[in-house]
Structure 1
């Protein structure tokens, strides 16, 4: 009979090499890339799973925040989940994820997010679809926005202006990260034979946005790839497009990351921008009381919602709860009538607004009387939550 699995942090450089070798095979990486990744995440933030003291897989935990309703909620991102091929199907990945979710809960973090290679595994531990990660593309000549409302000024890639501008935009986009330093490093880390160009939109004294991009020859096209961007004003949005349009003599197409319904495209004269790809990331409510209390709500709401939640993995999340919202903030206590019944996984898309309460009810994910559905719709309006970052 095989011994039980054991999960722990990495402790030695030899263990770094062992897990890196496994991840290289899992993700078809170049030799050495995964060792760099593990070290960049930090040994304290990487978990490995062992059987008979042999490392058979691992994952990264990235402590950061995520913006919901204008408030930043503590979040742990999960990345780099990999199991050696000879141990796949053994239950190792499920055990590792169960252990990790319990550990995140014990640390006091409210929510967790990840990008799934397979939904089936993560749904077993309470994750569910919650927001989008999208890439858009437009022929540069089709932009046709010529007026530049603001100056565009070249700045160094290590300029501190990016952090403040990003934070100002992030708080208004549900799903955006309060970025961990590791994520910022990935923003400025070029791929092989890649160079970044960074510009602030507006004056140095009054910046209203920025754009970071690289340029590439791909098959028969020349591509401008926007790595990161912020626009805080209508003038900045106009200038964002006019600046990109001015590349049309040399650049065939522009690519950027945006929402699945991207408001930037409202400025374009025609529907020439197309989604290149779109995938959904998943969210797990790790601590029900903290998650519902820390996020923001509409400031004019004064309402109460009675929930009954089932969570087999985290018993503290199971039972009846009353969410009371006033002045844009929520307060949660145990008890109440338990009118809106749902599994912890279904709370994720409700919380994020990816799907409306009525849509979740039709899908069989929640059960509630009409009054509770109405209250939930006011508390969690259907939006287009998205992230600009992959981890």
Structure 2
């Protein structure tokens, strides 16, 4: 760390207010919104860089989990990374991120994720593209399933019950049953759940369980709004654990055609829900890629899940200029879906920590990373890595 800079944890309301003024300006947020955000995340979750007596930059940390290969890993989600405008371009953000990652390594956190406003400063400290976040739009009057009218009548017999959001615990287990099967999905903490269920001022949010209340098969949480003279159903979260629940949710949304012209939601680039529609009338109106940083290489590789039935050994050589503990050769042995990591080996598959991030999540295959120069190795090593890191497309429904 530069000698004139100090890195630390926010300790009192005065420091939080000082950092909040910077973040409000950076993200064009009213002070009241920034205050509410900091209350939700918690004072202990913020870090700062100070020059002299002045806080000049800071960020927030979401402590939560993320699913890969059917296993949950502890994950630090970085958010609200802001630098006072008069200090931009001075290397402050590099110092802030470097010290934060060092702290997270010392705490034993294996991975970190963030949504970048710009990728360059995060790539400098080892983050790389890890998965997708997509916004979908669909005309309500086009919602039709590729099934008969009789089958639609049968689907309607699956009950949907409106429920209160006062106790969101009703959704936790249903959500987790879906998340465990999707690479990149969050193990949400309370702050993320509050974002999902919190209504906007003067706008109600609705929630329904699908199926038997004692053993629900899914749910939907949404609001209704008018935007650009269009009436919209905006889904903040939805889960279907069975084919019947997925079809019931589409029928339910189609039944809004008389009061809403569009349905909007966040989903995967390869969203399986849309395959049930009779026609491809949906659009991906925008997409983003979140970045992942492998903070502790042995721990991240050992704690991730792998395809059951694959018995393999992969020798890696990782280059990490920021965290020297990750720099070197490692052997990953996989059996019965479990990974075990030891130091050493031949280093047959060579990559830097950024290339490892995209391989780790499964966003890109080893062959794709080979073409972009982010990985090199023998045909055998590339084939082994392809087997081990195969899985569902990594994505997130949550933005933070």
Q: 1:175 offset after TM fit, Å?
A: 0.2
In structure 1, the partner of 2:149 is none
Partner of residue 153 from structure 1, selected from 151, 161, 169 = 161
In structure 1, the partner of 2:102 is 102
SS at match of 2:249: helix
Q: 1:39 offset after TM fit, Å?
A: 2.2
Q: How does 1:107-122 map to 2 (within 5 A)?
A: 107-122=107-122
Q: 1:96 offset after TM fit, Å?
A: 0.1
Partner of residue 240 from structure 1, selected from 249, 259, 267 = 249
Aligned length: 390
In structure 1, the partner of 2:279 is 270
Q: How does 1:362-373 map to 2 (within 5 A)?
A: 362-373=371-382
In structure 1, the partner of 2:148 is none
Aligned pair 1:131/2:131, yes or no? yes
- Distance between the aligned counterparts of 2:353 and 2:213, measured in 1? 46
In structure 2, the partner of 1:162 is 171
Aligned pair 1:231/2:230, yes or no? no
Aligned pair 1:253/2:262, yes or no? yes
SS at match of 1:103: helix
Aligned pair 1:48/2:48, yes or no? yes
Q: 1:384 offset after TM fit, Å?
A: 1.6
Deviation track 1:266-310 (CA, whole Å, cap 9, x = no partner) reads: 000000011011000000000111100101111100001000001
In structure 2, the partner of 1:8 is 8
In structure 2, the partner of 1:354 is 363
* Contact 1:356/1:382, CA 8 A, preserved across alignment: no
In structure 2, the partner of 1:344 is 353
Partner of residue 341 from structure 2, selected from 332, 339, 357 = 332
* Contact 1:148/1:238, CA 8 A, preserved across alignment: no
Q: 1:137 offset after TM fit, Å?
A: 0.7
Partner of residue 203 from structure 1, selected from 212, 219, 228 = 212
SS at match of 1:207: coil
- Distance between the aligned counterparts of 1:102 and 1:116, measured in 2? 20
In structure 2, list runs of 5 or more residues that go unmatched: 146-151
* Contact 1:10/1:43, CA 8 A, preserved across alignment: yes
SS at match of 2:217: strand
- Distance between the aligned counterparts of 2:202 and 2:7, measured in 1? 38
Q: 1:382 offset after TM fit, Å?
A: 5.8
Deviation track 1:219-263 (CA, whole Å, cap 9, x = no partner) reads: 221000001111100000000100000000111000111101110
Aligned pair 1:283/2:292, yes or no? yes
* Contact 2:140/2:262, CA 8 A, preserved across alignment: yes
Q: 1:149 offset after TM fit, Å?
A: 5.0
Q: 1:3 offset after TM fit, Å?
A: 5.3
In structure 1, the partner of 2:62 is 62
In structure 2, the partner of 1:85 is 85
Aligned pair 1:322/2:331, yes or no? yes
Q: 1:202 offset after TM fit, Å?
A: 0.6
| TM-score normalised by L of structure 1 | 0.98
In structure 2, the partner of 1:37 is 37
- Distance between the aligned counterparts of 2:214 and 2:344, measured in 1? 52
SS at match of 1:76: strand
Deviation track 1:338-371 (CA, whole Å, cap 9, x = no partner) reads: 0110001110110000000000000000011100
Deviation track 1:314-353 (CA, whole Å, cap 9, x = no partner) reads: 1111100000000000000000000110001110110000
Q: 1:53 offset after TM fit, Å?
A: 2.3
- Distance between the aligned counterparts of 2:391 and 2:318, measured in 1? 21
* Contact 2:59/2:79, CA 8 A, preserved across alignment: yes
| TM-score normalised by L of structure 2 | 0.96
- The root-mean-square deviation of aligned C-alpha atoms, in Å, is 1.1
Aligned pair 1:311/2:320, yes or no? yes
